[in-house]
Amino acid sequence: MKSVLKKILTAMRGGVNELGEAVVDSQGNRILEQELRDSEQELKQAKHELASLMAEAASLARQIRTEQDNASKREGDASKALAAGQEELAREVAERIVGHERRAAELSQTREGLQQRIASLKTRVQTAEKQLADYRRELQVVKTNERVLRTTAQIDTNINSQQSSLSTAKETLERIRERQAREEDRQSASAALEKELTGADLDEKLKAAGIDGDQDAVNDVLARLKSKTNE
Amino acid sequence: MDTQTLTLALGDATHAGRTFDVMPIAGDEPVLQVTVSGAEETPVYVTVTDTQILCLAYLFDEQELNPERLNELHENMLRISVPMPLSSLGKTGQHYVVYGALSPASGSAEIMQELVTLAENAIDLLQTFEDYLA
C-alpha cells in the first residue's frame, strides 16, 4: 500500500488541491472507511474463532487426561487379575486399556491439528490489528487534509466577500508598523506625563539653564563654614 | 471543546492582558476568526475536529514572494519552525501559514495561550521574512 502522505503530497504538487478535486476525495474516504470497517469485522471474527478453538483445545486436553487416567487405573486391575490367575478377565481388561489408549491417541492428534489452527489464527489477529491501526492513521491524515482544505477555502470565500481581496502581506505589515508606532508614541507620552507630575521635567530644565538647587545648597554651606573660620 | 463553547469562553475572557474578539466564519465547517488584542493584524482561524483543535494564521501567498529567494526562504522557515514556541510553519493551497494543533481535551486557558502565541508569532514572522516579499 502506497503511503497516504506520499499520495497527498504527489497530488498537491500536481496542483490538485482545489476543492472538488480533493486528493483522496470523499469516494476514496468512503473506501478507506469501508476498509476500516472490514478490518474491524475480520478482527472481531478472528478473535471469536480463536476463543472457541482455545476452549475446544482445553476440553480435548481434559478428555485425553481422563482416557490416560482410566488406562493406568485398568493396568493395576489387569495385574491383579493376572496375579489371581484370571487370564480371561485380564485379557478383557487389557482390551479396555487398548480402547482408552487409542482414544487418547486420537484425541491428541485432533488437539495437535487444533493447536496449529490456533497459532495461525493468532498471527491473523495480530496482522488485522496492525492493519487496523494503519487504516485509522491514514484515515486521520486524509480527513485532516480535507478539513484544512475546506476550512481555508471557507476563510478565503468569507474574506473575499467582505473585502475586495485578501489583504496582502505588505498591507498587513504596514498596519503592524502603524500600531507599533502608536504604541511607542503612547509610551513616550506617558513617560513625559510621569515626569511632569513628579516635577522631574522642571528640574531638568533648571539644570540645563545652570540652575541646580542641590549644588546651590552645598555652596551655601561651604560659604557659611568659610565665614566662620575667618571670624 | 467545540466552537460554540469556545466562542462563549473567549467572549469576555482575559489572558496575559489580552482580550479576544470572536467571529464565526459562515460556511459548512465550524470555523472561528479570533482577533487577539494587541495583535489585531493577524487574525487566528480556529476549527475543531474530533481529533484536534487546529489554529492557523495566514502569513503570505506564494505570488507575493520574490521567486528568486524562495529556496532561501523555505530553508529559513524550516529552521525557525523548530525553536518557535507552540507554532509550526506550513503551506496550504497558495497560503503560507503558521499553525498550532491542540488536543480536543484542552481547556480554555491552553487555547487562549495558543491564540496569543500564534498571533504574536505571526507578526514576528511577517516582520522577519519581510525581505522575501517581491
* In contact, B102 and B118? CB cutoff 8 Å: no
Question: Which residues numbered 165-204 in A keep a CB inside 8 Å of some CB on B?
Answer: 166, 168-170, 172-173, 175-176, 179
Mean pLDDT of the residues in chain A: 85
In percent, the amount of chain B with pLDDT more than 70 equals: 100
ipTM of the complex: 0.84
Lowest-confidence range among A24-38, A40-54, B88-102? A24-38
Burial bucket for residue A185 (CB in 10 Å: 0-12, 13-18, 19+): exposed
**pLDDT at position A165, please?**
55
At residue B117, the pLDDT reads 95
Assess B58–A contact: CB distance below 8 Å, yes or no: yes
Tell me, what's the pLDDT at A19? 43
Distance from CA of B31 to the nearest CA of A (A): 7
User: Which whole number is the average pLDDT over A57-74?
Assistant: 95
Q: What are the phi and psi torsion angles at B43 (to 5°)?
A: -65, 150
Instruction: Establish if A29 touches chain B: CB-CB under 8 angstroms.
Output: no
pLDDT-derived band of residue A84, with 50, 70 and 90 as boundaries? very high
Q: Coil, strand or helix: which one is B92?
A: strand
**pLDDT score of A26:** 61
Q: Which of helix, strand or coil describes residue B96? A: strand
Domains of chain A (ranges plus CATH)?
4-166 (1.10.287), 173-230 (no CATH)
Least confident of A51-55, A189-193, B122-126: A189-193
Residues of A in contact with B127 (CB under 8 A): 173, 176
Closest-CA distance of chain A to residue B98, Å:
13
Architecture of the B3-132 domain = 2-Layer Sandwich (3.30)
3-state helix, strand, coil in chain A (%, to 5): 85, 0, 15
Q: How confident is the model at residue B51 (pLDDT cuts 50, 70, 90)?
A: confident
